[in-house]
């Protein structure tokens, strides 16, 4: 039985006939555009409302006809799922899931096999997705690969296994592998070059030997040169006064001799002075030998010492006339005022303490 959605010409809408209610108001012809399923959606998506639709050209007087039951076969009421043309009009029967059957693909459409066409199975779809575009069914070869030789693309139809191994073949290096040429081409190492290589120490470098004169001694540093020194090179000492670079020697530590110690060393190890009296006993000689003048008591003087610790030895070595003597008066004398030498070989040992001469020892000399 056909029912018609009548277009209300005054309101411009299609009203649903009983037992359905409501209306739809697209523009003229809008509900008729698209597939039957899309038309159903425009009518509200109710399968019972528009199970069978008939399409006609839309005008102000045309109507949309549908069937809510299975009509008898006729020109105006097509069978379920049929498409008929009547009087220039196309009539389509829309098929529901129930009418079509199980359309999920499982039971109604069997999966394809190697012999029978059908739906693509999920497992085969997974296999298909895992194949690279353009993949081919190339078998893997089980033959032993050819030995290394002249390069060639080959003509085989099988692929090599990824762990295959080629034999090197009888290629001793003569004509197929040329010897390497320095800075020109790679190749095999010659026997002579191998002997040279064996004679080199591990990690050896090509470092030239310097012919420049080595720098003088100075502050320690690793240097920045790119040449090596010859094994018999010699560095100059340079002008190194010793002050800050070489520490002075102490009683417990070796080092440079201080200037004061050098002065004292020179004073205490100098040659002897021979003094005819009267006269001045100097402070630049370690020892002074006295010789009387033969006129009685000769006067002699002794200036202050030149360095603390300086020693001075004074000896009467010659008496010109019996009864002669020498009276020595130091500028500063810690143990008296004078020392008198009157007997041959009278002597005294004095030491300068920075303020006065002090008696270290004497032999025959008289202190007054």
Exposure string of 136-154, with b = 16+ CB inside 10 Å and e = fewer, is eeeeeeeeeeeeeeeeeee
- Of the two residues 200 and 337, the one the predictor is more confident about is 337
CA distance 316 to 295: 15
Q: Which residue has the tokens 């009009």?
A: 89
Instruction: Please state the rounded mean pLDDT for residues 87-109.
Output: 54
pLDDT category at 178 given cuts 50, 70, 90 is confident
Tell me the average pLDDT across 215-236: 85
Q: Give the residue, 162 or 50, on which the prediction is more confident.
A: 162
Out of 97, 113, 143, pick the residue that ends a domain: 97
Is 99's pLDDT higher than 70?
no
pTM above 0.85, yes or no: no
Last residue of a domain, one of 76, 97, 118: 97
Most confident option among 75-89, 241-255, 323-337: 323-337
Token pair of 34, please? 């698209």
Do residues 169 and 149 make contact, with C-beta atoms less than 8 angstroms apart?
A: yes
144 within a domain of the structure (yes/no): no
* Res. 265: pLDDT tops 80: yes
Identify which has the larger pLDDT, 360 or 169. Answer: 360
Domain for residue 274, yes or no? yes
**Residue 313 within a domain:** yes
Is omega for the bond preceding 278 within 30 degrees of 0, making it cis?
yes
d(CA 345, CA 347) in angstroms, rounded, equals: 6
In a domain, 236, yes or no: no
- Decide if 286 is inside a domain: yes
Classify residue 300: in a domain, yes or no: yes
Q: Give the single-character DSSP code of 274.
A: E
The dihedral of CA 315, 321, 323, 328: what is its sign? negative
- Is residue 28 domain-resident? yes
Q: Taking a C-beta distance cutoff of 8 angstroms, is the pair 161, 141 a contact?
A: yes
Average pLDDT over residues 73-89: 46
Domain hosting 61: range is: 2-97
Q: Quote the number of domains for the chain.
A: 2
Indicate whether 16 pLDDT > 70: no
User: Quick check: is 234 in a domain?
Assistant: no
Q: Which of 57, 61, 68 is nearest to 16 (CA)?
A: 68
Q: Higher model confidence: residue 56 or residue 41?
A: 41
Is the pLDDT higher at 352 or at 103? 352
Among 79, 97, 115, the domain-final residue is 97
């Amino acid at each position: 039985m056909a029912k018609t959605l009548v277009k209300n010409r005054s309101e411009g809408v299609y009203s649903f006939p009983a037992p359905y209610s409501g209306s739809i108001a697209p523009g003229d012809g809008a509900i008729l555009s698209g597939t039957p399923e899309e038309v159903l959606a425009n009518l509200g998506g109710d399968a019972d409302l528009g199970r069978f639709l008939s399409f006609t050209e839309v005008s102000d007087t045309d109507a949309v006809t549908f069937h809510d039951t299975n009509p008898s076969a006729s020109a105006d009421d097509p069978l379920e799922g049929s498409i008929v043309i009547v009087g220039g009009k196309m009539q389509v029967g829309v098929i529901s899931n129930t009418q079509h059957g199980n359309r999920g693909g499982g039971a109604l459409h069997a999966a394809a096999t190697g012999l029978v066409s059908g739906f693509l199975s999920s497992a085969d779809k997974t296999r298909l997705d895992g194949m690279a575009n353009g993949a081919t069914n190339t078998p893997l070869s089980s033959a032993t690969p050819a030995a290394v030789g002249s390069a060639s693309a080959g003509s085989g139809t099988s692929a090599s296994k990824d762990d295959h191994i080629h034999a090197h073949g009888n290629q001793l290096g003569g004509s197929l592998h040329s010897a390497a040429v320095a800075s020109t081409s790679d190749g095999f190492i010659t026997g002579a070059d191998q002997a040279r290589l064996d004679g080199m120490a591990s990690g050896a470098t090509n470092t030239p030997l310097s012919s420049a004169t080595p720098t003088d001694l100075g502050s320690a540093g690793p240097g920045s040169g790119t040449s090596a020194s010859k094994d018999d090179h010699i560095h100059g000492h340079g002008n190194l006064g010793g002050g800050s670079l070489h520490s002075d020697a102490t009683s417990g530590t070796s080092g440079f001799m201080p200037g004061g110690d050098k002065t004292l060393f020179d004073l205490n190890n100098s040659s002897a002075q021979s003094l005819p009296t009267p006269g001045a006993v100097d402070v630049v000689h370690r020892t002074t030998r006295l010789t009387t003048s033969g006129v009685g008591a000769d006067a002699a003087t002794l200036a202050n010492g030149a360095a603390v610790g300086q020693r001075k030895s004074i000896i009467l070595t010659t008496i010109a006339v019996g009864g002669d003597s020498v009276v020595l008066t130091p500028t500063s004398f810690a143990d008296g005022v004078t020392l008198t030498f009157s007997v041959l070989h009278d002597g005294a040992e004095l030491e300068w303490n920075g303020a006065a001469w002090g008696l270290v020892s004497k032999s025959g000399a008289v202190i007054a």
